[in-house]
Structure 1
């Protein structure tokens, strides 16, 4: 959070971000995921600063930011029944001293030492009785640099929502701006169990007209039985694919799962990704996925365990312009990652077609559609379903970043590396483009990817294959670089 924000004046009121008083059904499913420690939904962001920010300014920035975005002062209030959608309420005991920490990096101060520290911070559970986030300033990096590690629960927001929020809370200048809005501290809210249950019942009553309308549409559809049957069959066939109940078998090499997270970070100029995408008439996301899967191919070959496909999941944003910022507005796309395809051009085209089909699955939004029902399932039952449907070898996300220079308490943000959770998968890869540099954060299960150094080499080689496609247009190919 910055002591400036993107704004230079205006009304003293909070941002229009993450201001819904209740969780959505998808948020609820993510929150209940903590019932199983292997499904813990902690999302993280590591920012690298060109210098150590002023501590007093940083503290003031968080105090200001928590007034601009009151969600950072809100805790989750769940039903005593452990079912239905929880509410958000301003914590009457909000204590910034708990949420904001300051440490000095030990060891040799290297990027590897920094990532090890961040792994340990990330694997520590968030306190469910407090607002679900923690921020840590990490000093002691070489050349006077510093880092900031923010972790939060995925129920708070998805990746795009997080960037929308950070873009407004970071500053476009190094200097302090005394003219920024100053909204008052939000009033504490106490929600009793009966209040919450009453709200949940009211929500369900409010959904009755929508469900009746769906039923009437179904009845009217029967006037054309052939068309209705065809649509029902298409949707029915789509559900198992979207839910992950029908997917390629996982790689035996990556079969083990644990509670151990391992971080690694890479970067590549965005222009290099764009050049490769332009050369083969593909999207940046296609190139990104092809580079990742190419890394998996080379890793399997070097480990003497080649496979043809691996199960891959990608988030598909269903966020509309009229949707409120914050929260989760995502669906899930399933791919059969073509690990067996050595030709990078063919691999990109195969992925492009699979992504196109995944985006147009009839049941692509099933978790948002059925979420209001699933939210009433007990956490243990919900996690049994989620665990059976989430054994992916790779989950990959690509989120647009902030395309301008940003500052925090006088320090310039040089890089932003995102790290997603491991909801039953062997690896979570997340890419954010920060001011012209594509920053890739890899979170691997320590029991699944047993040789992380070798995998890093393979990933660089896999991206090298697809980035070399730019040479077809006479462009010098780029190189993925490990940050260490």
Structure 2
């Protein structure tokens, strides 16, 4: 077993080192970077890792020092050309200081999880310094019972929430003891120096040089289409119909309770339940863990509306559809968004899971799931407001939901055992954004709430927890 774990660690570290080999932001990353409007249209995610004790600070800091040497991207910043003639690139931050990006502070208050979430909320709402590497971490100490928490904020230009979990895995081990003989990674030779003006000139030069090749490729594509016009026309029409469906009005009426929102006032909530029970509940309803989670979220929102005298039969929910492939490297943005009408009014939780399953299966027939990525190369060169408008297309849901896999067995950070990992995404135009991370046998659910839309967040939290418990009870 020890040999297997050692090989696994070596493979994981090698994959992490390869994370930083792509020097240029891809089209989707470019569009998100240039069109971000924090916090209303934010590309920031935040993760809260609860620890059973306060880790040794020097060991904790050294682990991050080693991690940033392994993943060079964590020591790099984004350089945008003076004119949008090309994509932004990653360049080494000549003034990188770990002490700027990694800090520690006492939790304050009573030391509860709510106090930790307040620290995380404040950190997440603070904009990044876009001239520095796009991550910040805070070790929060003094929790009730002697625990601690690590709060990590990261920008989607660097990686998405799933990539953040991969990144955190590099800093975790399966024992409290120090892991010896970790590879010492020598950073590559420094990159050639450049600036925004030179990058713009190089992009213009390369674009002019590549124009004849692109013209020839376009001519070949046109000739190929001319040889099979009916097939091309049919494919185009099917793709266009899929785009219209995905960008159309929400599949269910929006809630009048959640209509007044602007995405600027965040509130973090943490929920949890048994992972094995929630997964088993999904099977009872003929679905998956993700189906059970969406059904629980819909049930919780139905309860919340009932408190306010509103009958919510369906709720438009935006889902994160993974586009990961086995051969994909660590990091990057590999997901698409799509909406369903979550059947919140179905009383029986097993029937609700089955209905959610049917809605999700219909999404996989959509050809244009990745349409935003397809249009990104062009949109990324247009004014930033255009990119913001494209990213906002179809974002008229009341809630969003996503799931991701975390560690399957106990892990430690600098000698402190990880008790739970709670991910918090931004609010992509929704009132409630819920993310489930599977951690050992615990479903850790981070919920970001638009406080302008939900004034009684305590009531919402109680209703969402009841929705989770109701679905999980199917396993019992």
Q: Deviations over 1:263-319 (max 9, x none)?
A: 111111211012212222211111010000111111111112223333211111112
The match for 1:482 is none
Whether contact under 8 Å (2:13, 2:170) holds in the other structure is no
Whether contact under 8 Å (1:67, 1:186) holds in the other structure is no
Q: Name which of 370, 386, 400 aligns with 2:391.
A: 386
Query: How far is the alpha carbon of 1:386 from its aligned partner?
Result: 2.7
Decide which moves more: 35-44 or 254-263: 35-44
Query: How far is the alpha carbon of 1:452 from its aligned partner?
Result: 0.9
Structure 1 residue ranges without an equivalent (≥5)? 471-475, 477-484
Q: Deviations over 1:433-471 (max 9, x none)?
A: 11121110001111112211111121122223322333x
The match for 1:285 is 290
The match for 2:3 is none
C-alpha distance in 1 between matches for 2:244 and 2:258: 23
Q: Any residues of structure 2 matched to 1:53-452 within 5 Å, and which?
A: 53-82=55-84, 84-189=86-191, 190-197=193-200, 200=203, 202=206, 205=210, 208=214, 214-222=221-229, 225=230, 227-243=231-247, 245=249, 247-258=251-262, 259-452=264-457
C-alpha distance in 1 between matches for 2:68 and 2:17: 10
C-alpha distance in 2 between matches for 1:417 and 1:448: 22
Whether contact under 8 Å (1:35, 1:380) holds in the other structure is no
C-alpha distance in 2 between matches for 1:230 and 1:452: 49
C-alpha distance in 1 between matches for 2:155 and 2:43: 6
Whether contact under 8 Å (2:15, 2:329) holds in the other structure is no
Q: Deviations over 1:164-223 (max 9, x none)?
A: 23223322222122311001245554332344335645479398376556545533431x
Q: TM-score, normalised by structure 2?
A: 0.91
Q: Given the superposition, is the C-alpha separation of residues 36 and 151 from structure 1 closer, same or farther in structure 2, using an over 3 Å criterion?
A: closer
Whether contact under 8 Å (2:400, 2:433) holds in the other structure is yes
Q: Deviations over 1:129-151 (max 9, x none)?
A: 10010000000101211000000
C-alpha distance in 1 between matches for 2:85 and 2:254: 32
Whether contact under 8 Å (1:136, 1:150) holds in the other structure is yes
The count of corresponding residues between Structure 1 and Structure 2 is 465
Q: CA RMSD in A?
A: 2.6
C-alpha distance in 2 between matches for 1:42 and 1:92: 24
The match for 2:468 is 463
Query: Per the alignment, in what secondary structure is the counterpart of residue 153 of structure 2?
Result: strand
C-alpha distance in 1 between matches for 2:234 and 2:108: 63
The match for 2:24 is 22
C-alpha distance in 2 between matches for 1:303 and 1:234: 42
Q: Name which of 6, 9, 32 aligns with 1:7.
A: 9
C-alpha distance in 1 between matches for 2:89 and 2:304: 44
Query: Per the alignment, in what secondary structure is the counterpart of residue 453 of structure 1?
Result: helix
Whether contact under 8 Å (1:77, 1:191) holds in the other structure is no
C-alpha distance in 2 between matches for 1:418 and 1:294: 21
Q: Given the superposition, is the C-alpha separation of residues 218 and 302 from structure 1 closer, same or farther in structure 2, using an over 3 Å criterion?
A: farther
Structure 2 residue ranges without an equivalent (≥5)? 1-5
Query: How far is the alpha carbon of 1:229 from its aligned partner?
Result: 3.9
